[in-house]
Structure 1
Amino acid sequence: MNRDEPSDEMLAWLYTQQGVDAVRVAMSGRVEASAGCSLLEHEALYRIDMGGRLPMSELSELLAVSPSGVTRLVERLVRRGWVERSQPPDNRRVVYAALTDEGRHVLHDTTAPTYRAAVAEEFAGPLNDRDVADLKRIGRKLLEAHGKWDAQRFAT
Protein backbone atom coordinates (compact mmCIF):
# COMPACT_ATOMS: atom_id res chain seq x y z
CA MET A 1 0.00 0.00 0.00
CA ASN A 2 1.20 3.46 -0.84
CA ARG A 3 1.97 5.56 2.20
CA ASP A 4 -0.42 8.25 0.96
CA GLU A 5 -3.36 5.87 0.54
CA PRO A 6 -5.50 5.49 3.66
CA SER A 7 -6.04 1.96 4.90
CA ASP A 8 -9.49 0.40 5.02
CA GLU A 9 -9.36 0.78 8.82
CA MET A 10 -8.60 4.50 8.49
CA LEU A 11 -11.39 5.01 5.95
CA ALA A 12 -13.86 3.08 8.13
CA TRP A 13 -12.93 5.29 11.09
CA LEU A 14 -13.14 8.53 9.10
CA TYR A 15 -16.45 7.62 7.45
CA THR A 16 -17.93 6.60 10.80
CA GLN A 17 -16.68 9.68 12.61
CA GLN A 18 -17.78 12.07 9.88
CA GLY A 19 -21.08 10.24 9.44
CA VAL A 20 -21.89 10.51 13.14
CA ASP A 21 -20.91 14.20 13.08
CA ALA A 22 -23.20 14.85 10.08
CA VAL A 23 -26.12 13.06 11.74
CA ARG A 24 -25.54 14.94 15.03
CA VAL A 25 -25.61 18.29 13.22
CA ALA A 26 -28.87 17.39 11.47
CA MET A 27 -30.43 16.05 14.68
CA SER A 28 -29.24 19.03 16.69
CA GLY A 29 -30.95 21.45 14.34
CA ARG A 30 -34.20 19.52 14.56
CA VAL A 31 -34.15 19.25 18.36
CA GLU A 32 -33.30 22.93 18.76
CA ALA A 33 -36.01 24.05 16.31
CA SER A 34 -38.74 21.79 17.65
CA ALA A 35 -37.94 21.33 21.33
CA GLY A 36 -36.18 24.59 22.18
CA CYS A 37 -33.08 23.00 23.66
CA SER A 38 -29.76 21.71 22.43
CA LEU A 39 -29.14 18.09 21.56
CA LEU A 40 -26.70 17.89 24.50
CA GLU A 41 -29.36 19.28 26.86
CA HIS A 42 -31.79 16.60 25.66
CA GLU A 43 -29.12 13.91 26.12
CA ALA A 44 -28.47 15.15 29.66
CA LEU A 45 -32.19 15.07 30.50
CA TYR A 46 -32.44 11.56 29.06
CA ARG A 47 -29.40 10.25 30.97
CA ILE A 48 -30.56 11.80 34.24
CA ASP A 49 -34.04 10.34 33.75
CA MET A 50 -32.59 6.87 33.09
CA GLY A 51 -30.52 7.05 36.27
CA GLY A 52 -33.18 8.67 38.43
CA ARG A 53 -30.56 10.88 39.97
CA LEU A 54 -27.00 10.90 38.75
CA PRO A 55 -23.74 12.05 40.28
CA MET A 56 -22.32 14.84 38.18
CA SER A 57 -19.15 12.80 37.63
CA GLU A 58 -21.17 9.96 36.07
CA LEU A 59 -23.14 12.39 33.91
CA SER A 60 -19.84 13.86 32.72
CA GLU A 61 -18.64 10.41 31.68
CA LEU A 62 -21.92 9.40 30.03
CA LEU A 63 -22.04 12.57 27.96
CA ALA A 64 -18.28 12.60 27.23
CA VAL A 65 -18.15 16.18 28.52
CA SER A 66 -15.57 17.58 30.92
CA PRO A 67 -16.61 17.99 34.57
CA SER A 68 -16.62 21.78 34.19
CA GLY A 69 -18.67 21.46 30.98
CA VAL A 70 -21.24 19.30 32.76
CA THR A 71 -21.39 21.81 35.61
CA ARG A 72 -22.22 24.59 33.11
CA LEU A 73 -24.72 22.37 31.28
CA VAL A 74 -26.53 21.39 34.47
CA GLU A 75 -26.54 25.02 35.62
CA ARG A 76 -28.39 25.95 32.39
CA LEU A 77 -30.89 23.16 33.04
CA VAL A 78 -31.34 24.30 36.66
CA ARG A 79 -32.03 27.87 35.48
CA ARG A 80 -34.67 26.51 33.09
CA GLY A 81 -36.30 24.66 35.99
CA TRP A 82 -35.70 21.23 34.44
CA VAL A 83 -33.05 19.87 36.81
CA GLU A 84 -32.25 20.21 40.49
CA ARG A 85 -28.96 19.55 42.21
CA SER A 86 -28.50 18.03 45.62
CA GLN A 87 -25.69 16.98 47.94
CA PRO A 88 -25.90 14.33 50.61
CA PRO A 89 -25.16 15.82 54.05
CA ASP A 90 -22.58 13.11 54.78
CA ASN A 91 -20.59 13.67 51.55
CA ARG A 92 -20.42 17.26 50.35
CA ARG A 93 -18.01 16.31 47.55
CA VAL A 94 -20.73 14.52 45.58
CA VAL A 95 -23.34 16.51 43.67
CA TYR A 96 -26.36 14.79 42.18
CA ALA A 97 -28.55 15.95 39.31
CA ALA A 98 -32.22 14.94 39.16
CA LEU A 99 -35.09 15.94 36.90
CA THR A 100 -37.80 18.18 38.23
CA ASP A 101 -41.41 17.48 37.31
CA GLU A 102 -41.12 20.17 34.64
CA GLY A 103 -37.91 18.60 33.30
CA ARG A 104 -39.58 15.19 33.11
CA HIS A 105 -42.52 16.76 31.28
CA VAL A 106 -40.21 18.54 28.79
CA LEU A 107 -38.27 15.33 28.19
CA HIS A 108 -41.21 12.97 27.74
CA ASP A 109 -43.59 15.31 25.94
CA THR A 110 -41.25 17.48 23.86
CA THR A 111 -37.60 16.56 23.44
CA ALA A 112 -37.88 12.74 23.39
CA PRO A 113 -40.49 12.56 20.59
CA THR A 114 -38.45 15.02 18.52
CA TYR A 115 -35.26 13.08 19.22
CA ARG A 116 -36.85 9.73 18.27
CA ALA A 117 -38.16 11.19 15.00
CA ALA A 118 -34.74 12.67 14.23
CA VAL A 119 -33.02 9.31 14.92
CA ALA A 120 -35.51 7.55 12.64
CA GLU A 121 -35.10 10.01 9.79
CA GLU A 122 -31.56 11.40 10.05
CA PHE A 123 -29.78 8.24 11.24
CA ALA A 124 -31.87 5.21 10.26
CA GLY A 125 -33.57 6.74 7.22
CA PRO A 126 -30.70 6.13 4.78
CA LEU A 127 -30.03 2.63 6.18
CA ASN A 128 -31.71 -0.72 5.64
CA ASP A 129 -32.49 -3.22 8.42
CA ARG A 130 -29.21 -5.09 7.84
CA ASP A 131 -27.21 -1.86 8.13
CA VAL A 132 -28.89 -1.03 11.44
CA ALA A 133 -28.29 -4.56 12.79
CA ASP A 134 -24.62 -4.38 11.72
CA LEU A 135 -24.13 -0.97 13.35
CA LYS A 136 -25.80 -2.17 16.54
CA ARG A 137 -23.48 -5.20 16.67
CA ILE A 138 -20.38 -3.15 15.84
CA GLY A 139 -21.26 -0.40 18.32
CA ARG A 140 -21.70 -2.91 21.12
CA LYS A 141 -18.44 -4.63 20.20
CA LEU A 142 -16.59 -1.29 20.39
CA LEU A 143 -18.22 -0.41 23.71
CA GLU A 144 -17.31 -3.80 25.16
CA ALA A 145 -13.72 -3.55 23.89
CA HIS A 146 -13.29 -0.23 25.69
CA GLY A 147 -15.03 -1.24 28.90
CA LYS A 148 -18.02 1.01 28.23
CA TRP A 149 -20.76 -1.60 27.72
CA ASP A 150 -23.31 -1.49 30.51
CA ALA A 151 -26.28 -3.78 30.03
CA GLN A 152 -28.22 -1.68 32.56
CA ARG A 153 -27.93 1.39 30.33
CA PHE A 154 -28.23 -0.18 26.90
CA ALA A 155 -30.88 -2.42 25.42
CA THR A 156 -29.30 -5.71 24.41
Structure 2
Amino acid sequence: MGDVVDRYEASDSLLAWLYVQQGVDAVRVAMSGRVEAAAGCSLLEHEALYRIDMNGRLPMSELSELLAVSPSGVTRLVERLVRRGWVERSQQPDNRRVVYAALTAEGRRVLKAATGPTYRAAVAEEFAEPLTDRDLADLKRIGRKLLEAHGKWDAQRFAPN
Protein backbone atom coordinates (compact mmCIF):
# COMPACT_ATOMS: atom_id res chain seq x y z
CA MET A 1 0.00 0.00 0.00
CA GLY A 2 2.87 2.37 0.71
CA ASP A 3 3.83 2.76 -2.96
CA VAL A 4 0.26 3.45 -4.04
CA VAL A 5 -0.29 6.03 -1.32
CA ASP A 6 3.08 7.66 -2.04
CA ARG A 7 2.12 8.03 -5.72
CA TYR A 8 -1.00 9.93 -4.71
CA GLU A 9 0.78 12.23 -2.26
CA ALA A 10 -0.58 10.73 0.92
CA SER A 11 -2.22 13.29 3.12
CA ASP A 12 -3.54 12.91 6.63
CA SER A 13 -7.10 13.00 5.32
CA LEU A 14 -6.40 10.34 2.67
CA LEU A 15 -4.69 8.05 5.16
CA ALA A 16 -7.45 8.58 7.73
CA TRP A 17 -10.08 7.70 5.11
CA LEU A 18 -8.19 4.58 4.00
CA TYR A 19 -7.59 3.38 7.56
CA VAL A 20 -11.20 3.94 8.61
CA GLN A 21 -12.60 2.32 5.46
CA GLN A 22 -10.32 -0.71 5.72
CA GLY A 23 -10.81 -0.94 9.48
CA VAL A 24 -14.60 -0.99 9.12
CA ASP A 25 -14.32 -3.61 6.38
CA ALA A 26 -12.12 -5.81 8.60
CA VAL A 27 -14.55 -5.53 11.53
CA ARG A 28 -17.54 -6.28 9.24
CA VAL A 29 -15.90 -9.46 7.94
CA ALA A 30 -15.08 -10.67 11.46
CA MET A 31 -18.54 -9.81 12.82
CA SER A 32 -20.43 -11.21 9.84
CA GLY A 33 -18.95 -14.67 10.34
CA ARG A 34 -19.93 -14.68 13.99
CA VAL A 35 -23.47 -13.40 13.40
CA GLU A 36 -24.01 -15.85 10.56
CA ALA A 37 -22.83 -18.78 12.67
CA ALA A 38 -25.08 -17.81 15.59
CA ALA A 39 -28.24 -16.60 13.84
CA GLY A 40 -28.04 -17.88 10.28
CA CYS A 41 -28.06 -14.43 8.70
CA SER A 42 -25.36 -12.21 7.29
CA LEU A 43 -24.45 -8.90 8.86
CA LEU A 44 -26.20 -7.08 5.98
CA GLU A 45 -29.34 -9.19 6.47
CA HIS A 46 -29.19 -8.40 10.20
CA GLU A 47 -28.89 -4.69 9.46
CA ALA A 48 -31.83 -4.87 7.04
CA LEU A 49 -33.99 -6.66 9.64
CA TYR A 50 -32.94 -4.12 12.28
CA ARG A 51 -33.71 -1.11 10.05
CA ILE A 52 -37.10 -2.51 9.06
CA ASP A 53 -37.96 -3.34 12.67
CA MET A 54 -37.06 0.18 13.86
CA ASN A 55 -39.65 1.62 11.49
CA GLY A 56 -42.35 -1.05 11.62
CA ARG A 57 -42.28 -1.14 7.85
CA LEU A 58 -40.00 0.60 5.42
CA PRO A 59 -40.28 1.62 1.77
CA MET A 60 -37.73 -0.26 -0.32
CA SER A 61 -36.25 3.03 -1.54
CA GLU A 62 -35.56 4.16 2.03
CA LEU A 63 -34.11 0.76 2.96
CA SER A 64 -31.80 1.04 -0.05
CA GLU A 65 -30.60 4.43 1.18
CA LEU A 66 -30.19 3.34 4.81
CA LEU A 67 -28.17 0.27 3.85
CA ALA A 68 -26.16 2.11 1.15
CA VAL A 69 -27.16 -0.63 -1.29
CA SER A 70 -28.41 -0.03 -4.82
CA PRO A 71 -32.16 -0.34 -5.41
CA SER A 72 -31.64 -3.57 -7.37
CA GLY A 73 -29.35 -4.89 -4.62
CA VAL A 74 -31.92 -4.17 -1.92
CA THR A 75 -34.61 -5.83 -4.05
CA ARG A 76 -32.49 -9.01 -4.23
CA LEU A 77 -31.74 -8.79 -0.49
CA VAL A 78 -35.41 -8.41 0.44
CA GLU A 79 -36.36 -11.21 -1.94
CA ARG A 80 -33.96 -13.53 -0.04
CA LEU A 81 -35.52 -12.41 3.25
CA VAL A 82 -39.03 -13.01 1.87
CA ARG A 83 -38.05 -16.53 0.71
CA ARG A 84 -36.72 -17.25 4.19
CA GLY A 85 -40.00 -16.10 5.72
CA TRP A 86 -38.42 -13.19 7.61
CA VAL A 87 -39.92 -10.28 5.67
CA GLU A 88 -43.13 -9.62 3.79
CA ARG A 89 -43.68 -7.02 1.10
CA SER A 90 -46.79 -4.92 0.71
CA GLN A 91 -48.13 -2.04 -1.35
CA GLN A 92 -50.70 0.63 -0.66
CA PRO A 93 -53.82 0.26 -2.84
CA ASP A 94 -53.64 3.95 -3.78
CA ASN A 95 -49.92 3.87 -4.73
CA ARG A 96 -48.76 0.53 -6.11
CA ARG A 97 -45.35 1.95 -7.05
CA VAL A 98 -44.16 2.11 -3.44
CA VAL A 99 -43.25 -1.29 -2.03
CA TYR A 100 -42.86 -1.70 1.73
CA ALA A 101 -40.91 -4.31 3.67
CA ALA A 102 -42.09 -5.45 7.11
CA LEU A 103 -40.83 -8.14 9.47
CA THR A 104 -42.74 -11.33 10.04
CA ALA A 105 -42.86 -13.04 13.43
CA GLU A 106 -40.05 -15.32 12.24
CA GLY A 107 -38.06 -12.27 11.14
CA ARG A 108 -38.39 -10.79 14.62
CA ARG A 109 -37.20 -14.08 16.12
CA VAL A 110 -34.13 -14.11 13.85
CA LEU A 111 -33.42 -10.45 14.62
CA LYS A 112 -33.61 -11.15 18.33
CA ALA A 113 -31.23 -14.09 17.97
CA ALA A 114 -28.84 -12.08 15.79
CA THR A 115 -28.88 -9.04 18.10
CA GLY A 116 -28.50 -11.05 21.27
CA PRO A 117 -25.36 -11.99 23.16
CA THR A 118 -23.43 -13.11 20.06
CA TYR A 119 -23.83 -9.77 18.29
CA ARG A 120 -23.01 -7.79 21.41
CA ALA A 121 -19.94 -9.95 22.05
CA ALA A 122 -18.85 -9.52 18.41
CA VAL A 123 -19.15 -5.73 18.70
CA ALA A 124 -17.24 -5.77 21.98
CA GLU A 125 -14.46 -8.08 20.80
CA GLU A 126 -14.08 -7.24 17.11
CA PHE A 127 -14.71 -3.48 17.34
CA ALA A 128 -14.35 -2.08 20.86
CA GLU A 129 -11.68 -4.28 22.42
CA PRO A 130 -8.68 -2.75 20.62
CA LEU A 131 -9.92 0.77 21.42
CA THR A 132 -9.65 2.88 24.55
CA ASP A 133 -12.62 4.66 26.10
CA ARG A 134 -11.22 7.87 24.60
CA ASP A 135 -11.05 6.24 21.15
CA LEU A 136 -14.70 5.20 21.41
CA ALA A 137 -15.78 8.68 22.53
CA ASP A 138 -13.83 10.20 19.62
CA LEU A 139 -15.39 7.78 17.14
CA LYS A 140 -18.89 8.59 18.40
CA ARG A 141 -18.19 12.31 18.05
CA ILE A 142 -16.60 11.94 14.63
CA GLY A 143 -19.29 9.57 13.37
CA ARG A 144 -22.02 11.97 14.42
CA LYS A 145 -20.18 14.88 12.81
CA LEU A 146 -19.93 12.98 9.50
CA LEU A 147 -23.60 11.96 9.64
CA GLU A 148 -24.65 15.55 10.33
CA ALA A 149 -22.45 16.89 7.52
CA HIS A 150 -24.16 14.58 5.05
CA GLY A 151 -27.69 15.12 6.35
CA LYS A 152 -27.90 11.59 7.78
CA TRP A 153 -28.06 12.32 11.52
CA ASP A 154 -31.37 11.33 13.07
CA ALA A 155 -31.38 11.68 16.85
CA GLN A 156 -34.32 9.29 17.18
CA ARG A 157 -32.42 6.54 15.39
CA PHE A 158 -28.97 7.09 16.82
CA ALA A 159 -29.42 8.51 20.31
CA PRO A 160 -29.05 6.00 23.14
CA ASN A 161 -32.24 5.04 24.96
TM (normalized to structure 2)?
0.91
Distance 2:7 2:60 in 1: 44
Query: Which structure shows the higher helix fraction?
Result: 2
- The Cα of 1:55 is off from its aligned counterpart by 0.4
- The Cα of 1:120 is off from its aligned counterpart by 1.1
Percent identity between matched residues is 87
Q: Look up the match of 2:105.
A: 101
- The Cα of 1:115 is off from its aligned counterpart by 2.1
Distance 1:20 1:11 in 2: 14
Runs of 4+ in structure 1 over 2 Å off: 2-5
Q: Which runs of 5+ in 2 are unaligned?
A: 1-5
2:115 to 102, 112, 116: 112
TM (normalized to structure 1)?
0.94
1:70 to 68, 74, 91: 74
1:5-154 superposed matches below 5 A:
5-108=9-112, 110-113=113-116, 114-154=118-158
Letter in 2 for 1:92: R
State the Cα RMSD in Å: 1.3
* SS of alignment partner, residue 155 of structure 2: coil
Q: Which runs of 5+ in 1 are unaligned?
A: none
Distance 2:82 2:70 in 1: 18
Instruction: State the number of aligned residues.
Output: 154
Query: Which structure shows the higher strand fraction?
Result: 2
